[in-house]
Structure 1
Amino acid sequence: MASEITSEITAKTSKTTPVTVKPVVNAIRILRFLSESSVPERAVDIARKLDINPSTCFNILRTLVNEDMVEFSPMSKRYSAGLGLARLVEQFVTQGQKVQLAKPLLEAFASSSRVTVTLWRRMGSDRIVIVSSAACPTDVRIDMTEGQRLPILMGASGRLFASQLSLESEEVRTMFEKIRWGMPLSFDEYCAQVTEASKRGWAVDDGYFSIGILAVAAPVYSSSGTIDFTVSAVMFRGQKNDKEIAELGESLCNLARELENVLF
């Protein structure tokens, strides 16, 4: 019986100081409070219970009302969670349900290919996140944690997301230079790898994300032609030869097309 080795990969990114914007934090606290409250609440009571300055609380509530996140009753002078918030939550739930439907496809591919498979989603303009993963249950494996985030340019998936960015822009170059790679990689080499991935249809990261790890990724296109997700196979370097890696890349492209039917 094959032994099981669990190796959790930690992203090697530049150290940044977390930024906290207090009005945003307070807005989230208010939305959470109203979504959990069984009855509409007055502004003064919300401010008191959440220990927020009454004037600040009122201004945040007024903004949330304008954005349809909170409803205000002129008769009772009370606030409650709005329809806009419900629609926003519904969109996330729907996407989460679709990701769950994709899980069996990832598990089947991981088992047959003897690799760890991850589904990455783009988050904003500068990050990607693992929304689902599956590892081969009977072989040496690498565990990738769901929820793990990386800079959008990093890894095999990063090279695919980068293909839809302007690599000539100073902003992208700055993003690249902040990344701590497992092995030295120049920006020109990176751009060449992005171009090659675009022509081939799938991307490779051979030890640059983490020494000893090789990843192959294929794009999952939305109906509008954007890359919102990627599917990646992660393995130890040397686990497969060049021919097998190429075959894996093509197989991932086929899996990506199946995922398109599930996710979009």
Structure 2
Amino acid sequence: METTDVLESNDHRKATTAVIVKPVSNAIRILRHLSQAGAPERSVDIARQLGINPSTCFNILRTLLQEDVVDFNPMSKRYSAGLGLARLVEQLVTQGQRVQLAKPLLQNLAARQRVTITLWRRIGPDRIVIVSSAASPADVRIDMAEGQRLPLLMGASGRLFATQVDLNDPQVRGGFDNIRWSRPLAFDDYVEEVRLATERGWATDDGHFSVGIMAIAAPVYSPSGSIEFTVSAVMFRGQRDDAGIAELGAALVEFCTELTSVLF
């Protein structure tokens, strides 16, 4: 055996018996905790739950923030899992796993915006399905079940997928006519809402999918430029005024742009 082989063998034996490096272990525990948490948390609360010295926990969080694997909201003073964490493993997962990887991000968005967040995906030529859902943390909330399927053109997400089909196609019009809206919607009004969605980058469904429910959706574009997913915020009608709806729409567009690096 050569000298280098002996040295490598000795190094391996030392590594397998080495004492765990506490700061590294704590950083991993913090990341695991944030990825599983349903809402952003304060440093002091994270430290208490994990049994880490508060000062140590704060310093680790600030380091992780600099490395872009956690996010920090300066208004609420709370931390959450960051998109940089997803990018670390983005080459190692399938698309189904990527959807699971996006789950904590949806939960954090639902907590920040106080709405239910759903991730929709197009399946086939005429259907969309909820592949992930995060309920609002409010006491009174709307639950959207994963696996729920809708016609392609239905809801706020449907208006986004409609931007990529020919609404003058008789078959597409026939699909629209077969939709059972909770609140009737004329086709010409629908076309105008699709045009508006194209113009501003996000769409709404104001009680047509379900009476009393407002939905706002933004698209997640694939590298080829097609809409493969949408993210929808679901709330009670009247929960936000026009300015608040526009603000949420812009926030969803920004979120979907960041989510592209997770899903593709």
TM-score of the alignment, normalized to the shorter chain, above 0.5: yes
CA contact (8 A) 1:114 1:139 kept: no
Q: Deviations over 1:207-260 (max 9, x none)?
A: 000100000000000000000000000000011111000000000001101110
TM-score, normalised relative to structure 1:
0.64
Q: Which amino acid aligns with 1:192?
A: E
**Partners in 2 of 1:263 and 1:236 — Cα distance?**
28
Q: Which amino acid aligns with 2:101?
A: L
Q: Identify the residue that residue 202 of structure 1 maps to in structure 2.
A: 202
Q: Identify the residue that residue 152 of structure 2 maps to in structure 1.
A: 152
**Which consecutive unaligned segments of at least 5 residues does structure 1 have?**
1-92
Q: Identify the residue that residue 258 of structure 2 maps to in structure 1.
A: 258
**Partners in 2 of 1:243 and 1:140 — Cα distance?**
23
Pick closer, same or farther for the CA change 1:208–1:138 going to 2, 3 Å. Answer: closer
Q: Which amino acid aligns with 1:261?
A: S
CA contact (8 A) 1:206 1:215 kept: yes
For residue 119 of structure 1, give the secondary structure of its aligned residue in structure 2: strand
Q: Identify the residue that residue 181 of structure 2 maps to in structure 1.
A: 181
Q: Identify the residue that residue 4 of structure 1 maps to in structure 2.
A: none
* 1:95 shift after superposition: 1.3
CA contact (8 A) 1:159 1:197 kept: yes
Q: Identify the residue that residue 71 of structure 2 maps to in structure 1.
A: none
**Partners in 2 of 1:219 and 1:108 — Cα distance?**
18
Counterparts in 2 of 1:178-257, with a 5 A limit? 178-257=178-257
CA contact (8 A) 1:122 1:229 kept: yes
Does residue 1:123 correspond to 2:123, yes or no? yes
Q: Deviations over 1:174-204 (max 9, x none)?
A: 0000001111111111011000000010000
**Partners in 2 of 1:146 and 1:247 — Cα distance?**
26
**Partners in 1 of 2:114 and 2:233 — Cα distance?**
9
Q: Which amino acid aligns with 2:239?
A: Q
* 1:138 shift after superposition: 3.6
For residue 195 of structure 2, give the secondary structure of its aligned residue in structure 1: helix
Q: Which amino acid aligns with 2:197?
A: A
**Partners in 1 of 2:168 and 2:136 — Cα distance?**
39
Identify the structure with bigger relative contact order (alpha carbons < 8 Å, sequence gap 6+).
1
* 1:135 shift after superposition: 1.0
Q: Deviations over 1:69-125 (max 9, x none)?
A: xxxxxxxxxxxxxxxxxxxxxxxx811100011011100000010000000000000
**Which consecutive unaligned segments of at least 5 residues does structure 2 have?**
1-92
Does residue 1:170 correspond to 2:179, yes or no? no
* 1:139 shift after superposition: 3.5
Off by >6 Å, runs of 4+ in structure 1? none
**Partners in 2 of 1:255 and 1:183 — Cα distance?**
29
**Partners in 2 of 1:164 and 1:232 — Cα distance?**
18
For residue 102 of structure 1, give the secondary structure of its aligned residue in structure 2: helix
**Partners in 1 of 2:141 and 2:153 — Cα distance?**
24
**Partners in 1 of 2:235 and 2:247 — Cα distance?**
14
CA contact (8 A) 1:152 1:161 kept: yes
**Partners in 2 of 1:138 and 1:170 — Cα distance?**
43
**Partners in 2 of 1:100 and 1:140 — Cα distance?**
26
Measured on the aligned residues, the alpha-carbon RMSD in Å equals 0.9
For residue 117 of structure 1, give the secondary structure of its aligned residue in structure 2: strand
For residue 94 of structure 2, give the secondary structure of its aligned residue in structure 1: helix
Q: Which amino acid aligns with 1:156?
A: A
**Partners in 1 of 2:142 and 2:152 — Cα distance?**
21
Counterparts in 2 of 1:77-156, with a 5 A limit? 94-156=94-156
Q: Identify the residue that residue 76 of structure 2 maps to in structure 1.
A: none
For residue 208 of structure 2, give the secondary structure of its aligned residue in structure 1: coil
**Partners in 1 of 2:109 and 2:226 — Cα distance?**
24
For residue 122 of structure 2, give the secondary structure of its aligned residue in structure 1: strand
